[in-house]
Amino acid sequence: MPASMRLSQAPLIHVVAQVHFSEVPPYEEAALNQLHRSLMSAGYPERLNGHLEEVEWSFEMSDGASPKQRKRRFPRFVFKGPGQRRLVELRHNCLIFKVTDYSGHQTFLSEWNEVMGLVSSVIPEMTNALLHSLSLRYVDLVVPKERETLRELVSVALLPPPLPDVDGNALFGSTLKAFDTGDGRHLRVTFEEIQPQRQRLTKILPDDLIEQVPEFGLSIDGLPHWQVVHGAYGLLDIDHVYTASNTPAVGDCEMPDIFRKLHEQTHKAFWGLISQQAIESWE
**70-120: per-residue pLDDT in tens?**
788 999 999 999 999 999 999 999 999 999 999 999 999 999 999 999 999
Measured CA distances, 259 to 51, 84, 170, 188, 244 (Å): 28, 24, 38, 16, 13
81 lies in which domain range? 12-55+68-282
Within-domain flag for 61 = no
pLDDT value of position 54: 78
Domain count, the chain: 1
pLDDT value of position 57: 75
User: In angstroms, how far is the first alpha carbon of the chain from the final one?
Assistant: 13
pLDDT value of position 6: 81
Within-domain flag for 60 = no
pLDDT value of position 61: 62
If 0-12 CB within 10 Å is exposed, 13-18 middle and 19+ buried, where does residue 168 land? Answer: exposed
Within-domain flag for 242 = yes
pLDDT value of position 4: 54
pLDDT value of position 134: 98
Within-domain flag for 28 = yes
Which segments in the chain show pLDDT lower than 70? 1-4, 60-65
Within-domain flag for 146 = yes
pLDDT value of position 69: 78
- DSSP letter at 151 equals H
pLDDT value of position 56: 73
- DSSP letter at 65 equals P
Within-domain flag for 210 = yes
